């Protein structure tokens, strides 16, 4: 199988490149190809002649998207459309990374793949519109929604918590937003399996279990052997430019249907901390 990874220098992209060893892989970062450039995208895909295109490139700064709306849509929606059209023209399959932020967070039970999209942030809107467009352009594409992604080699929540904990006696972390932390190593392995199984449609791909950001931070501090106290606060107390869903836990039903199981998020965090040390 020949695979083209777009966004190969990002947090997930790096994990994909490390994990994808049994196939022919061409990895390209944003310096190699800007997905907003439709002609360049078409040229790259035609030249690569892949069986699968993995679109991991995105503008993921959720708060930044609020003040850079045009950039968010040009990358996350229009860039994805460019890749989908190029993949269709080249006869390639496509897997697109989407987000739990396509939901409004009003549910109290895990979101299923066919639950209604109702994004509350610019980032969420850009991803939701990308999903709708991609399913029209390339009905056989695979949309892998994930959440709370962390891993080595870039900025992520555990990295931030440990960096702040190194210089502060206490940290305030929101306790009224609930989701599923997802380790790039496990996410990459699942994506590889989805491609090998030829999966199409929407799939939810996260580590098993859920927690609040406060509970996540507590586990990080304890697992890293830090003495910092973690204090629960409300989202109102920690106001951010972009609204976050209060509950964005993604159901594993769709992933299990495809015969894929993900480890628990606490197990994943332990492996991340070990990887970070080494």
Spatial distance between the Cα atoms of 7 and 4, rounded to a whole number of angstroms:
10
Max alpha carbon distance in the chain (Å)? 56
Handedness of CA 115, 121, 123, 129 (dihedral sign): positive
Catalytic residue positions, numbered: 123
Enter the tokens of residue 84: 């989908």
Instruction: Give the Cβ contact number of residue 202 at 10 Å.
Output: 19
Alpha carbon distance 264, 211 (integer Å): 11
Residue that has been written with the tokens 């990874």 in this structure: 5
User: Which of 125, 10, 116, 145 lies closest to 66 in space, CA to CA?
Assistant: 125
Whole-number Å distance between alpha carbons of 274 and 277: 5
C-alpha dist (Å) from residue 241 to 123, 214, 216: 11, 19, 22
């Amino acid at each position: 199988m020949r695979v083209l990874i777009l966004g190969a220098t990002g947090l997930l992209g790096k994990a994909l490149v490390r994990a994808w060893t049994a196939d022919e892989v061409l990895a390209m970062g944003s310096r190699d190809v800007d997905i907003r450039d439709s002609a360049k995208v078409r040229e790259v895909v035609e030249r690569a002649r892949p069986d699968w295109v993995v679109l991991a490139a995105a503008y993921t700064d959720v708060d930044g998207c609020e003040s850079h709306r045009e950039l968010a849509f040009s990358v996350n929606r229009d860039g994805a459309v460019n890749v989908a059209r190029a993949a269709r023209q080249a006869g390639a399959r496509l897997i697109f990374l989407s987000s739990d932020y396509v939901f409004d967070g009003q549910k109290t039970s895990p979101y299923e793949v066919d639950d209604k999209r109702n994004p509350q942030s610019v980032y969420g809107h850009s991803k939701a519109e990308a999903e709708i467009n991609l399913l029209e352009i390339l009905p056989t594409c695979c949309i892998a929604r994930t959440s709370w992604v962390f891993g080595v080699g870039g900025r992520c929540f555990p990295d931030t918590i440990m960096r702040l904990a190194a210089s502060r006696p206490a940290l305030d972390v929101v306790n009224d937003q609930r989701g599923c932390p997802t380790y790039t190593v496990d996410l990459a392995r699942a994506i590889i399996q989805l491609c090998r199984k030829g999966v199409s449609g929407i799939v939810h791909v996260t580590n098993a279990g859920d927690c609040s950001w406060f509970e996540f931070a507590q586990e990080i501090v304890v697992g890293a052997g830090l003495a910092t106290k973690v204090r629960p606060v409300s989202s109102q107390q920690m106001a951010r430019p972009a609204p976050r869903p209060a509950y964005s836990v993604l159901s594993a039903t769709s992933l299990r249907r495809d015969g894929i199981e993900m480890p628990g998020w606490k197990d994943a965090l332990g492996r991340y901390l070990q990887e970070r040390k080494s």
